[in-house]
Structure 1
Amino acid sequence: MAALTLLLQLAVLLLASATINVSAWKQGRATFYGNEPWYWSIHHGSCGYGYQWPDQNTGWDIAALSDAHPEYRGSCGGCYEIKCQSSDIKDGYGQNLNRNGACRDGSSSVIVRTTDTCPCQYQNNYYSNKRWCCGDIDHFDMSVWAFQKLTDMKWGVIPIQYRRVDCGKQPDNKAYLNYDQMFPGEFPPKSQAGNRGDFDWYKYFPKGGYLNSKAGDGSGMVSVDEFLRMTGRGGSRGGDSQAQFGKK
Structure 2
Amino acid sequence: MSPPYAVAAALSTLSILLTLVSSHYSSSSSDYPPSLQASPEFAEWRSAHATYYAAADPRDAVGGACGYGDLVKGGYGMATVGLSETLFERGQICGACFELRCVDDNRWCIPGTSIIVTATNFCAPNYGFTSDGGGHCNPPNKHFVLPIESFEKIAIWKAGNMPVQYRRIKCRKEGGIRFTVTGSGIFISVLISNVAGHGDIVAVKVKGSRTGWLPMGRNWGQIWHVNALLQNQPLSFEVTSSDGKTLTSYNVAPKDWTFGQTFEGKQFET
TM-score range for the pair, normalised by the shorter chain length: 0.3 to 0.5
Say which structure, 1 or 2, has more relative contact order (CA 8 Å, 6+ apart).
1
Q: Which has the higher strand share?
A: 2
Question: Under a length normalisation based on structure 1, what TM-score does the superposition of the two structures give?
Answer: 0.47
